[in-house]
Amino acid sequence: MLITALATPFKEGRLDQYSYERTIVYQLEQGVDALLCLGTTAEVALLTTSEKKLLAGIARGLAGNVPLWVGVESCCTRNAVVEAERAQKCGANGLLVAPPAFVKCTPRGYVEHVKAIAKASGLPLMLYNAPSRCAYAIDGEILSELSQYASYAKDAGSDLNFTERLAEHFHLLCGNDILLCDQRAKGAVGAVSVVSNVAPRLAKRMLKDPEKRDVALWERLSRLSMEEVNPIAIKYMLFKMRLFDTYEVRLPLTSANRQTQRKIDAFWEENR
């Protein structure tokens, strides 16, 4: 299963609705299995409530029968429940539950957080393990209990032993593009991908039976996409593809620097 973690286009500081629609249509034409809006790649923490509603509504309206996952990123359980209810009303098919950054919640608190979101939405949940970004790693001792409320897990970590443990309890999806082959070997059944913003067909081949040249191309794209903090580089790639009109990000992020641009430009020249 391939889920593209959609980036959010901006123009002069505002949402660029037309670029967003164009990108979603491209993803659907390329045959992705599902879409994710309001994830990390979407700069969700930098969006207003009205912007989140608009993005989810656009994605739902265009996706048709293609499943739509919506991110729930608040580390406050009450606010996360409100986000979950809002996503359910907009027609989400599932929720990606971000870990609680900064709060340093207890294992029991995390279980209750997930339980409250599941109860409020009635939707399938995907847990999001992203220790490098959130300074919080899911406690391995509560995986069995968490599996009562969530069926999926996205692993954006680098500990392959923990990847294997997650795969024992959940339908595991790779959340770290550079480790896609390694995580597949540990039980991943799909991916929530950043790179698939620009290369969805390549991503689908990587989930089936990739050739050596596919693997080499994928690894290079994966490294380029993380040349700077996500989604800085992928937005420049989307701009190069003319799916986005600009490669703006919101502060405290900054747009792709010259070194990143040169590397991506060189890649594009080589792979026309």
Which residue did the predictor score with more confidence, 191 or 137? 191
pLDDT score at 135: 73
pLDDT score at 247: 98
Phi-psi label, residue 122: left if phi above 0, alpha if psi -120 to 50, beta otherwise: left
- What are the residues facing 172 on neighbouring strands? 153
Say if residue 138 is exposed, middle or buried (CB neighbours under 10 Å; 0-12, 13-18, 19+).
Answer: buried
pLDDT score at 133: 77
Percent of the chain with pLDDT strictly greater than 70 = 100
Say if residue 255 is exposed, middle or buried (CB neighbours under 10 Å; 0-12, 13-18, 19+).
Answer: middle
**What's the chain's average pLDDT?**
95
pLDDT score at 138: 87
Residues 6+ apart with CB under 8 A from 208: none
**What residues act catalytically?**
128, 154
Instruction: Output the pTM of the full model.
Output: 0.95
Residues 6+ apart with CB under 8 A from 257: 228
User: How far apart (Å, rounded) are the C-alpha atoms in residues 46 and 118?
Assistant: 24
What is the DSSP annotation of 123-188?
A: S-EEEEE-HHHHS----GGGHHHHTTT-SEEEE-SS-HHHHHHHHHHSEEEE--GGGHHHHHHTT-
Res 9 pLDDT > 90? yes
Tokens of 260: 């990143």
CB-CB contact of 36 with 24 (8 Å): no
Write the pLDDT tens digit of every residue in 32-43. Answer: 999 999 999 999
pLDDT score at 105: 87
- What are the residues facing 193 on neighbouring strands? 4
**Region of poorest pLDDT, from 119-123, 202-206, 268-272:** 268-272
CB-CB contact of 95 with 126 (8 Å): yes
Res 258 pLDDT > 80? yes
pLDDT score at 219: 96
pLDDT score at 99: 83
Mean pLDDT computed over 258-268: 97
Q: 24: pLDDT confidence band, cut at 50, 70 and 90? A: very high
Mean pLDDT computed over 256-272: 94
Residue 132, Cβ neighbours under 10 Å: how many? Answer: 10
Write the pLDDT tens digit of every residue in 224-249. Answer: 999 999 999 999 999 999 999 999 99
User: How far apart (Å, rounded) are the C-alpha atoms in residues 163 and 183?
Assistant: 7
- What are the residues facing 95 on neighbouring strands? 70, 125
Q: 27: pLDDT confidence band, cut at 50, 70 and 90? A: very high
Residue 114, Cβ neighbours under 10 Å: how many? Answer: 24
Q: 178: pLDDT confidence band, cut at 50, 70 and 90? A: very high
Residue 199, Cβ neighbours under 10 Å: how many? Answer: 24
Residue 235, Cβ neighbours under 10 Å: how many? Answer: 27
Determine the CATH number of domain 2-207. Answer: 3.20.20.70
Which residue, chain included where needed, has tokens 């659907």? 28
Domain boundaries, the chain: 2-207
pLDDT score at 272: 72
Write the pLDDT tens digit of every residue in 48-101. Answer: 999 999 999 999 999 999 999 999 999 999 999 999 999 999 999 999 998 888
Write the pLDDT tens digit of every residue in 128-139. Answer: 998 877 777 888
Q: 102: pLDDT confidence band, cut at 50, 70 and 90? A: confident
Tokens of 49: 């409530």
